[in-house]
Structure 1
């Protein structure tokens, strides 16, 4: 069977009301400013940046991530307010927590050792966030976007109890599988 490389990444993807609220912010930005690039993925907090993987070995990838998640303890995560990286990314703030930083750091190490994935700069300088606009932001209109977004309210908390493996399908990121923390 020929090797077929596909793009994947690992993230926290809140479900239910939080997903709906974050998606609504993205929709509002699309309606008002035609910013739609962030709509190509569900609202998420990236843990491991996109990487190429042989689709024929996808089951092995899920198995390896499941092995990593065995025994992880659920923890609470707070999402509050809007922030930005320069004039190129607008995001929902993720309150930095020891549990989240430890999870990301251990996952980066695991991916490097067990999956032979490169440890990237973003793995070492982790800044958790939930992007609502990027890539199609025009710097000359940034203040207009920012004025619009910072009037919105976002203050949520959720229990992190699973990882999500996302896969790029027809130009959009879809959750391929959720991998629960095994309390066994």
Structure 2
């Protein structure tokens, strides 16, 4: 079988109704400002930056990740407030509990040693967030977008009991499979 490389990443994807509410917020940004690039993926908090992997070995990748995440415990996560990286990326802030920090650190080490994947700068300097607008975001839209999002006063809290392996398919990131954490 020929080797076909796919692009993947690992993230926390909230369940409904939070997922739908955040998607609606991104759709509102598209309708009001023409910003749509963030709609190419479900609402998520990245745990491991995109990496390439042999598509023929997806099943083994999922099994390996499943064994890793069985050792990770579920935890509570809070989202609230709006932040930005410069004036080109706008995101929902994530309260950074120690459980998330430790999980991401162990995952970073695991993906380097077991999966033999490169550690990206943003893997090493982890800043959890949920992107709402980026890339097709124009500088003169920055303040109006921030005001629009602040008016929505977004706050959520949920239990993280699974993570998602996402795969790039036809230019969009789709959840390939959810992987359970231990209870």
Alignment of 1:129-144 (within 5 A): 129-144=129-144
Quote the offset at 1:151 in angstroms.
1.3
- Tell me, what secondary structure is at the counterpart of 2:8? strand
Alignment of 1:15-164 (within 5 A): 15-164=15-164
Quote the offset at 1:21 in angstroms.
1.2
TM normalised by structure 1 equals: 0.97
Gaps of 5+ in 2: none
Per-residue Cα deviation, 1:119-170 (whole angstroms, up to 9, x for no partner): 1111111000000100101112212222222211111100011110000011
Per-residue Cα deviation, 1:48-77 (whole angstroms, up to 9, x for no partner): 000111100011110111011113211100
TM normalised by structure 2 equals: 0.97
- Tell me, what secondary structure is at the counterpart of 1:179? strand
RMSD (Å), alpha carbons: 0.9
Aligned to 1:8: 8
- Rounded Cα–Cα distance in structure 2 between residues aligned with 1:15 and 1:46: 15
Gaps of 5+ in 1: none
- Rounded Cα–Cα distance in structure 1 between residues aligned with 2:174 and 2:21: 18
Quote the offset at 1:20 in angstroms.
1.0
Aligned to 1:178: 178
- Aligned residue pair count: 183
Q: Which runs of 4+ in 1 moved over 6 A?
A: none
- Rounded Cα–Cα distance in structure 2 between residues aligned with 1:74 and 1:65: 15
- Tell me, what secondary structure is at the counterpart of 2:35? coil
- Rounded Cα–Cα distance in structure 2 between residues aligned with 1:147 and 1:95: 21
